[in-house]
Amino acid sequence: MCDGDDESVCHFLFECQRLTDRRKELWSDVELSMPRPMVEEIGMMNNQAKVTFILSGFGCKYVPEWNSIYVALVRFVSNLYALASDLRPVG
């Protein structure tokens, strides 16, 4: 999708310039669903650490009280994927 060779998960979720505006909007929804200490913690992580953290389910077993966070993350990833699919050249 990008001109460079980096098509990693980290690049796609947090660095791709073509997705910046939508990413900011969707990530804001994720942060709004998180408790303040989690927002602060993830805000101090580099992008690769964020990917590992969110794709590992926050490094712990399922926490029912965090369901709204899980839902926001699913929306974040699925909406970015849909946008990226629309931006990819056909053929």
pLDDT average, residue stretch 9-28? 94
What residue spans define the domains of the chain? 9-87
State the pTM of this model: 0.85
- Residue 45 above 90 pLDDT? yes
13 closest CA partner among 1, 3, 89: 1
Instruction: Using the Cα atoms of residue 88, residue 79, residue 81 and residue 54 in order, give the sign of their dihedral.
Output: positive
Q: Tell me the pLDDT tens digit for each residue of 53-91.
A: 999 999 999 999 999 999 999 999 999 999 988 887 665
Supply angle C-alpha 25, 26, 27, rounded to 5: 95
- A 10 A CB-CB count for 46 gives 10
Q: Do residues 84 and 1 make contact, with C-beta atoms less than 8 angstroms apart?
A: yes
